[in-house]
Amino acid sequence: MKNTVRVLLFAIIIGFSIYIIQNFTGSISSEWMITATTVLFTFSIIFIGFVIFLENRKPSQTITWLVVLGSFPLIGFLFYLVFGRNVRKKKLFDRKALVDEKIMFEIEGNQSTYEDRIDLMGDHQQMLFNLAHRLGHTPISFATRTKALTNGNETFGHIFGEIEKAKHHIHLEYYIVRHDEVGNKLKDALIKKAKEGVEVRFLYDSVGSWKLSKTYIKEMQQSGIDVVSFLPVKMPFLNNKVNFRNHRKIIVIDGTVGFVGGLNVGDEYLGKDEYFGFWRDTHLMVWGEAVRTLQMIFLQDWYYMTGENIVKKEYMTPSVQLEEHEGGVQIIAGGPDNKWEVIKNLFFSMITSAKDSIWIASPYFVPDEDILSALKVAALSGVDVRLLVPKRPDKKIVFYASRSYFLELLEAGVKIYEYEEGFMHSKIVIVDYELASIGTANMDMRSFHLNFEVNAFLYRTRSTQKLVDEYERDLKVSHEIIMDEFNKRPFRHKLYESMSRLLSPLL
């Protein structure tokens, strides 16, 4: 049976149930009505459960869906239509995956991989970068320079400075763009450059930026800026595109400098939100070969949404001189269009390859069983495993789901810290003080399985050392969670955690 037919059948079943409840209360006995409704709901749950079973999901996901459908039949049904259909995911992104792989291989696949320099790495580091090359089709570059940017003031200062220097083109891709002070400053800067003849393309996520005003968009379009929304959703409950979001944050200017990292465009990223206060975040500035990969990711996303093929020589990074003092850099894109769960598998490889330390910072920590087991085994093996998370939640279900994992991690020897100076939004993984990941992906299932993400993997760069130094500073303004204290938390918190943990496979 076709997927659309199945969905239609589900809708008819639920609709008929609601119709009975609303229209026949007075003409038939309440006992008959309850029995008929129960039978219809039961049939619909069994049918949906059978479909989920045939999709060969992970057992935890299958059980979670069955529990949700059994506990909340009507709500669970609607939730499944929006968030649960794997077949729809495949149809949405198969073409994008094939095109992306072909183009990336043509552009990047024949680039020098600096085999002599890779041979100088440890065996486990070589394995990681070879895996990244195979999954992401991008080679490691030793002709790339990076700079880790701390928090909003430094990040936006460099972004606006580079935009002002633009001569040929500016490409931007963001999950959240707000019509506030910093958002308007960005809009004005882009309009200014567009009027100077610079090509400006702006791709924003339609769900992450759903509050972005039409006036904001219209002003940019009238100034000659190409503005496109990613996977627009007009009727969310009839279209599960809402579940697959572009969480990437990319800027490429003239093909020579790029930005990637955790910061979206909004005043809260400058610490101007009263609830969050100080906003701790990390971004990365990139020069050289790796900018080409950032450019390719943007151009492929642009092509997917517009059909406009602009993979042209003038947008590619010019050749640069090899800088002997810089380490290796590899830019990797992950998303629902890739069957290998690229970012998750690279995180797993980093964790399992660690010899001395694994330091993680993530605002949303909802690991799947693979990552959770890898962290516990590493800690039990004597590796220094540390996790830095926010103390104040912005999404309570995710916050409590995160805390539901703490006890077993603490028992394995993982050290967990809550950042107390404000809201911690950095997305960092550091292994053995020399290998690091920085980008848009959180350590959670949504980033692993549903969102389009992009991360930079760094090996012995100056930025790697800066990330190590800043992580140590962040720990000084954080509170370490001790097992005895954690066990004394209120019962209601334990209840919230258990309920949120149940939904983890869906977050």
The H or E element containing residue 249 is: none
Burial class (CB in 10 A: 0-12, 13-18, 19+), 319: exposed
Pick the catalytic residue from 96, 169, 193, 249: 249
Pick the catalytic residue from 89, 96, 241, 247: 247
Has 474 been annotated as catalytic? Answer: no
Q: Residue 201 in contact with residue 169, Cβ under 8 Å? A: yes
Tell me how far the alpha carbon of residue 93 is from its chain's centroid. Answer: 17
Has 325 been annotated as catalytic? Answer: no
Angle made by CA atoms 101, 107, 108, in degrees to the nearest 5: 80
Name every residue whose Cβ is closer than 8 Å to that of residue 501 and which is 6 or more positions away in sequence: 400, 401, 404, 405
Which backbone phi and psi does 107 adopt, to 5 degrees?
Answer: -85, -45
- H helices of 180-247, where? 181-195, 214-222
Pick the catalytic residue from 432, 444, 449, 474: 432
Pick the catalytic residue from 96, 133, 344, 425: 425
Q: Distance between CA atoms of 366 and 444, rounded to whole angstroms?
A: 4
Look up residue 251 and give its amino acid. I
Has 425 been annotated as catalytic? Answer: yes
Name every residue whose Cβ is closer than 8 Å to that of residue 45 and which is 6 or more positions away in sequence: 66, 69, 70, 73, 76
Q: Distance between CA atoms of 52 and 80, rounded to whole angstroms?
A: 10
* DSSP letters for 259-301: EEES--BSGGGGT--TTT-SEE-EEEEEEETHHHHHHHHHHHH
Pick the catalytic residue from 89, 100, 133, 254: 254
Q: Residue 129 in contact with residue 121, Cβ under 8 Å? A: yes
| DSSP classification of residue 257 | E
Q: Distance between CA atoms of 273 and 275, rounded to whole angstroms?
A: 6
Q: Residue 361 in contact with residue 388, Cβ under 8 Å? A: yes
Q: Distance between CA atoms of 35 and 17, rounded to whole angstroms?
A: 11
Q: Distance between CA atoms of 65 and 87, rounded to whole angstroms?
A: 16
Pick the catalytic residue from 89, 344, 427, 449: 427
Has 432 been annotated as catalytic? Answer: yes
Has 247 been annotated as catalytic? Answer: yes
Has 185 been annotated as catalytic? Answer: no
How do strand 384-390 and strand 357-361 relate by DSSP bridges? Answer: parallel
Q: Distance between CA atoms of 441 and 352, rounded to whole angstroms?
A: 19
Q: Distance between CA atoms of 248 and 301, rounded to whole angstroms?
A: 10
Q: Residue 10 in contact with residue 77, Cβ under 8 Å? A: yes
How do strand 328-334 and strand 453-459 relate by DSSP bridges? Answer: antiparallel
Q: How many CB atoms lie within 10 A of CB 115?
A: 7
Q: Residue 118, CB half-sphere, CA atoms under 13 Å: how many?
A: 17
Residues, the chain: 507
Q: How many CB atoms lie within 10 A of CB 228?
A: 17
Q: Residue 288 in contact with residue 103, Cβ under 8 Å? A: no
Residues classed as catalytic = 247, 249, 254, 425, 427, 432
